[in-house]
């Protein structure tokens, strides 16, 4: 087990952003992406009065974090759920409003480190990539069964891959000979399909394709589109949300939802802005905050992180 899997990204900054909302006795914080429980452990330790709800779709992550958080007893409630299921989870627990919500949208270190999950392009493994291995279709099934046009769309939209057509042509040709099962064959195919110039920059040439497949397999962006507004709606007044993103598609989506909540929506020219048009949120970060050089040196997985935070300043007016 490598050390990096125990280092939560931008931990102190996340705690500082959420802190003012979590000091009241009875405060509830939701860790929507529990993973191995690093952020959750720190929240429970730093705020001794807080109750934590932890969500994860990965049953192995839930098992491991349950061991880690066992010393906190009933203060931690762990739930097998995808984070867009937040409203249903809170309703089931009888919690109409919460004081804090945290999202860490990176693939968990455990998923990257366990070779047989198929997330990492650096080692050969079955092409699975499902965060919840009890449901859904694998990356291999996507590669072997999707029409070429859909594969091109996925690589362009989710991987921002400029060479999508070239890569998909090679995939379609090769899957006709033998279906894809393992990651090494896909990595080799991508290397062979790309022109030399495209291989010179941007790290491993398979990175964008693997990202695109992972997002498709787990429905990540459509889940996030539902989850961020649901989390904002679940915040009590003075409650706070912190979101860590690792790629531009996610960060853009988070930025749009938080900016919309912080905007005055009144038609121009009104002498007094009625309450229903007033902002619901106040932004707590200027743009997206980045990890420090020291943190990146300690934990290379922090490098692409972007952190945004907001505070609920008024109820919705019905």
Annotated binding residues for S-adenosyl-L-methionine, written as ranges, equal: 37-39, 56, 83, 104, 111
Separation between Cα atoms, residue 23 and residue 26, nearest integer Å: 9
CA-based angle 137:140:144, to the nearest 5? 100
CB hemisphere CA count around 220 (13 angstroms): 28
Identify any residues that bridge with 309 across adjacent strands, giving them in sequence order: 242
Tokens of 57: 């779709």
Give yes or no for a contact between 104 and 39, defined as CB atoms under 8 angstroms apart.
yes
Burial category of 287 from C-beta neighbours within 10 Å (exposed 0-12, middle 13-18, buried 19 and up): exposed
Identify any residues that bridge with 282 across adjacent strands, giving them in sequence order: 311
Output the known binding site. Answer: 37-39, 56, 83, 104, 111
Burial category of 159 from C-beta neighbours within 10 Å (exposed 0-12, middle 13-18, buried 19 and up): buried
Q: How far is CA 176 from CA 147, 165, 169, 180, 192, in A?
A: 12, 17, 11, 10, 17
From 300, 311, 294, 292, select the one nearest 13 (Cα to Cα): 292
Task: Write down the residue that tokens 């992550």 correspond to.
Answer: 61
Separation between Cα atoms, residue 237 and residue 218, nearest integer Å: 32
Give yes or no for a contact between 64 and 37, defined as CB atoms under 8 angstroms apart.
yes
Task: Write down the residue that tokens 């998923």 correspond to.
Answer: 111
């Amino acid at each position: 087990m490598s050390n990096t899997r125990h280092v939560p990204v931008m931990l102190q900054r996340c705690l500082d952003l959420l802190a003012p909302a979590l000091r009241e006795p009875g405060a509830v914080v939701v860790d929507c992406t529990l993973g191995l429980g690093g952020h959750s452990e720190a929240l429970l330790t730093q705020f001794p009065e807080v109750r934590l709800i932890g969500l994860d779709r990965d049953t192995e992550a839930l098992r491991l974090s349950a061991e880690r958080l066992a010393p906190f007893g009933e203060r931690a409630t762990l739930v097998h759920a995808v984070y867009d299921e937040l409203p249903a989870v809170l309703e089931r627990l009888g919690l109409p409003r919460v004081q804090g919500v945290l999202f860490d949208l990176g693939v968990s270190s455990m998923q990257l480190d366990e070779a047989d999950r198929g997330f990492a392009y650096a080692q050969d493994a079955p092409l699975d990539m499902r965060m919840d291995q009890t449901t859904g279709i694998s990356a291999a099934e996507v590669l072997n069964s999707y029409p070429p046009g859909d594969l091109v769309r996925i690589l362009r939209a989710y991987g921002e891959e400029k060479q999508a057509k070239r890569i998909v042509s090679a995939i379609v040709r090769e899957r006709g000979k033998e279906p894809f099962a393992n990651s090494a064959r896909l990595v080799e195919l991508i290397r062979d399909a790309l022109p030399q110039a495209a291989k010179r920059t941007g790290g491993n040439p398979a990175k964008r394709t693997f990202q695109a497949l992972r997002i498709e397999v787990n429905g990540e962006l459509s889940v996030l589109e539902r989850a961020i507004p649901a989390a904002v709606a679940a915040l009590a007044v003075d409650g706070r949300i912190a979101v860590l993103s690792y790629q531009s598609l996610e960060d853009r989506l988070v930025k749009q939802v938080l900016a919309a909540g912080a905007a005055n929506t009144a038609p121009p020219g009104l002498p007094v802005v009625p309450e229903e048009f007033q902002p619901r949120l106040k932004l707590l970060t200027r743009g997206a905050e980045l990890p420090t050089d020291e943190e990146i040196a300690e934990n290379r997985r922090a490098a692409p992180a972007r952190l945004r935070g907001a505070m609920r300043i008024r109820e919705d007016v019905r």
